């Protein structure tokens, strides 16, 4: 970026123009009123000299300070001289789509995130950024994976910054291999800045063309073409992350810079396999292909932490469906632990292992991991979501709601936060859910919970509409059984409802919360044996949300059963024990 461009970006020219116009108007007014007020002739000279002296100071102040929602802030930079960046040929990405100037409300700007578990972060202006998948300049099935994979790696580096809220890879995955309209996507993701661009891989070289766009002004504040040898492509994330920080006037601490710096893989083949795996879709086949690639990489470099993290992610995905979920769940735990043994401050691994531990009933371990992660970055939306999930699992519903509110303030459009509907349902906020819940409305998970909420509220017709939408979704397994079972019950066929619920139980889910879903449906159907069996599995697995169970109307018909009463008492004791031991650490 040229020095001239930097002056423009820091509004120096705007301030100079306003100053000159204001000075000229002042002199014109003085010229008109002086004869009437009998002002001395020397006053005009004094004003001109004063304005001349003040002009350079006004420009200097414009260069050193910026206006933010929290007032005037000093631009914190160590570099006064800007390097000239290479110019990229071709038209701006901004010209490729229509411009919508209505940007979504800024919910997270200037937010003081409060943590009871760590020292509260100071009030800061959090700049919100989305890094979109890059487009391949030459359509090539063998290199298309780089578009999402490179964006994912850049996101992973910036995630360590407390002052930049970067949208997670899950938010930008839907835009992989699509034509991008930056303004439209930026509005949906509720960000102020978007990094987008293109790439070209030729022989052993990769050229990445990037543009950092400020959406409100439609201004490209940084554009550069970065060329690097493919064997060193892992360095791109560090290069781009630092340049983003520089051009957003964001200061990274030495600790953040250290964490952001990527570990070097043993060879380029390892990193190539890894990037290809990262770009695989979250389908059963995609997860299996990714695992195969990652296992090949592990054979080549058994000490590269990102390989184990991505393996953990893929096994976690497989643990949600199929007939071997318990094994996949255990594998995910092993992989995340291995990643952390190689890099103990691996932020995403801390968050994901915290959730895996929650599912496995290892609540003390989960709590410590999530708190450690939040101390690294208390402004990370995914970490607050993970802590909310943890609290919900052990029945701290109000704390779960609070953490989810912070997560949604920081990242209000993230579809992965859809499970916030569960906490709200247990808190009895049926009307609010049906009126305003808007996350992942095409997800079978969301549709099923909306159907259950409608049923609990007494609207069976609306409940059926939601459940039938789930049945229309292809290749759905667990959520299909939930919806089909509910439909059968509403239509008066309780026997069929019980059989469908049993089919879901037979999948042996490795998630205690899912087992409790199964238990409460058995309770609704007045199947005491089924409820007792699945409730015991849920509690044994660590699901001890006693407040959710205590107030659940679905268990009303079976609560007096001696075995179920005994199980509820066990859940209560475990919940109270956690409450007494964990609260002191918040």
Taking only the tens of pLDDT, the chain with its 586 residues reads 446 656 665 677 778 888 888 888 888 887 777 777 777 777 778 878 888 888 888 878 777 765 544 445 455 443 332 333 333 333 343 333 332 332 233 223 333 333 344 333 444 578 999 999 999 998 888 999 999 999 999 999 899 888 898 988 888 888 887 888 888 999 888 899 999 999 999 888 999 999 999 999 889 999 999 999 988 888 888 899 889 988 998 888 888 888 888 888 877 789 999 999 999 998 889 999 999 999 999 999 999 999 999 999 999 988 876 557 778 989 999 999 999 999 999 999 999 999 999 988 999 999 999 999 999 999 888 899 999 999 999 999 999 999 999 999 888 878 889 999 999 999 999 999 999 999 989 999 999 999 999 999 999 999 999 999 999 988 776 799 999 999 999 999 999 999 999 999 998 887 899 999 999 999 999 999 999 999 999 999 999 999 999 989 999 999 999 999 999 999 999 999 998 888 544 3
What's the per-residue H, E or C state across 523-554? HHCCCHHHHHHHHHHHHHCCCCCHHHHHCCHH
CB atoms within 10 A of CB 577: 13
Q: Please tell me whether residue 238 adopts helix, strand or coil conformation.
A: helix
List, in sequence order, every residue forming a beta bridge with 207; answer none if it has no partner.
200, 227
Q: Which residues in 355-377 are b (16+ Cβ under 10 Å) and which e?
A: bbbbbbbbbeebbbbbbbbbebb
**220 dihedral zone (left: phi>0; alpha: psi -120 to 50; beta):** beta
pLDDT of residue 94: 35
Alpha helices in 360-419 (DSSP H): 363-376, 381-394, 397-410
Position 563 scores a pLDDT of 96
CA gap 525, 469 in Å, rounded: 22
Which structure tokens are listed for 7?
A: 């002056």
Q: What is the pTM of this model?
A: 0.71
Q: What CATH fold (topology level) applies to the domain 93-261?
A: Rossmann fold (3.40.50)
Burial class (CB in 10 A: 0-12, 13-18, 19+), 473: middle
Cβ neighbours of residue 70 under 8 Å, at least 6 residues apart?
110, 123, 124, 125
What pLDDT does residue 89 have? 34
Q: Angle at which helices 494-505 and 478-490 pack, to 10 degrees?
A: 170
Q: Using CA atoms, how far apart are residues 147 and 123, in angstroms rounded to an integer? A: 35
Q: Give the single-character DSSP code of 77.
A: -
Residue 559 vs residues 137, 357, 442, 566: alpha-carbon distances, Å = 63, 29, 34, 10
Q: CB 261: neighbour CB atoms within 10 A?
A: 15
Distance from C-alpha of 340 to C-alpha of 93, rounded to nearest angstrom? 39
Tell me how far CA of residue 136 lies from CA of 144, 146, 176, 195, 437, in angstroms: 6, 8, 11, 15, 36
CB-CB contact of 415 with 439 (8 Å): yes
Own/partner pairs, 170-175, CB within 8 angstroms, 24+ separation = 170/414, 170/415, 170/416, 171/130, 171/411, 171/413, 171/414, 171/415, 172/130, 172/131, 172/132, 172/133, 172/148, 173/133, 173/148, 173/282, 175/132, 175/133
Separation of alpha carbons 207 and 230, rounded Å? 9
The confidence score (pLDDT) of residue 308 equals: 97
Interatomic CA distance for residues 40 and 184, integer angstroms: 59
**How do 135-136 and 193-202 pair as beta strands?**
parallel
- Residue 507 is classified by DSSP as T
* Degrees, nearest 5: CA angle 536-540-544: 90
> How many residues appear in the chain?
586
For the chain, the structural domain boundaries read 3-74, 93-261
Distance CA(271)–CA(515), nearest Å, equals 38
Q: Of all helices (H) and strands (E), which one includes residue 272?
A: helix 268-278
pLDDT score of 40: 79
Query: At how many degrees (to 10) do helices 347-359 and 363-376 cross?
Result: 160
- Phi and psi at residue 440, to the nearest 5°: 50, 55
* Angle 320-274-370 from CA coordinates, rounded to 5°: 50
């Amino acid at each position: 970026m040229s020095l001239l461009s930097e002056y423009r970006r820091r509004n120096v020219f705007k301030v100079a123009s306003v100053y000159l116009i204001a000075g000229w108007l002042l002199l014109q007014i003085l010229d008109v009123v002086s004869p009437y007020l009998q002002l001395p002739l020397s006053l005009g000279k004094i004003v001109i000299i004063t304005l001349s002296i003040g002009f350079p100071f006004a420009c200097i102040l414009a260069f050193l300070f910026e206006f933010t929602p929290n007032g005037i802030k000093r631009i914190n930079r160590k570099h006064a001289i800007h390097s000239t960046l290479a110019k990229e040929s071709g038209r701006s990405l901004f010209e490729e789509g229509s411009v919508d100037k209505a940007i979504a409300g800024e919910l997270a700007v200037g937010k003081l995130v409060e943590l009871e578990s760590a020292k509260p972060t100071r009030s800061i202006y959090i700049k919100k950024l989305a890094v979109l998948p890059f487009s391949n300049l030459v359509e090539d099935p063998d290199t298309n994976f780089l578009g999402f994979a490179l964006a994912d790696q850049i996101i992973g580096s910036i995630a360590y910054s407390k002052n930049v809220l970067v949208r997670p890879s899950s938010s930008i995955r839907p835009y992989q291999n699509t034509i991008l309209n930056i303004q439209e996507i930026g509005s949906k993701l509720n960000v102020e800045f978007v990094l987008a661009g293109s790439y070209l891989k030729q022989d052993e070289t990769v050229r990445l063309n990037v543009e950092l766009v400020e959406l409100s002004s439609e201004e490209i504040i940084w554009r550069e073409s970065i060329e690097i040898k493919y064997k060193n492509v892992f360095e791109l994330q560090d290069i781009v992350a630092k340049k983003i920080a520089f051009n957003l006037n964001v200061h990274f601490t030495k600790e953040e810079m250290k964490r952001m710096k990527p570990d070097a893989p043993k060879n380029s083949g390892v990193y190539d396999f890894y990037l290809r795996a990262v770009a695989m879709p979250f389908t059963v086949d995609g997860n299996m292909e990714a695992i195969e690639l990652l296992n090949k990489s592990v054979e080549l470099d058994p000490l590269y932490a990102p390989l184990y993290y991505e393996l953990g992610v893929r096994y976690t995905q497989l643990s949600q469906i199929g007939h071997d979920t318990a094994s996949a769940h255990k594998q995910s735990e092993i992989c995340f632990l291995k990643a952390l043994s190689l890099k103990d401050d691996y932020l995403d691994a801390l968050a994901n292992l915290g959730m895996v531990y929650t599912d496995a009933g290892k609540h003390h371990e989960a709590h410590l991991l999530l708190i450690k992660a939040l101390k690294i970055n208390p402004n990370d939306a995914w970490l607050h979501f993970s802590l909310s999930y943890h609290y919900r699992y052990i029945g701290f519903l109000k704390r779960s709601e609070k953490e989810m509110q912070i997560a949604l303030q920081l990242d209000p459009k993230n579809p992965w936060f859809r499970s916030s509907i569960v906490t709200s349902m247990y808190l009895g906020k049926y009307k609010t859910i049906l009126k305003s819940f808007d996350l992942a409305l095409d997800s079978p998970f969301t549709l099923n919970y909306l159907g259950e909420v409608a049923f609990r509220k007494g609207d069976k017709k609306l409940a059926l509409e939601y459940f039938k939408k789930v049945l229309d979704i292809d290749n759905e397994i667990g959520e299909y059984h939930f919806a089909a079972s509910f439909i059968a019950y509403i239509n008066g066929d309780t026997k069929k409802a019980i059989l469908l619920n049993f089919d879901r139980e037979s999948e042996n889910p490795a998630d205690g919360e899912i087992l409790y879903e199964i238990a409460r449906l058995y309770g609704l159907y007045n199947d005491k044996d089924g409820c007792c069996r699945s409730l015991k599995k849920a509690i044994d697995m660590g699901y001890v949300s006693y407040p959710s169970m205590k107030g659940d109307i679905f268990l009303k018909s079976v609560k007096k059963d001696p075995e179920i009463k005994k199980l509820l008492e066990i859940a209560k004791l475990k919940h109270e024990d956690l409450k007494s031991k964990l609260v002191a650490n918040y």
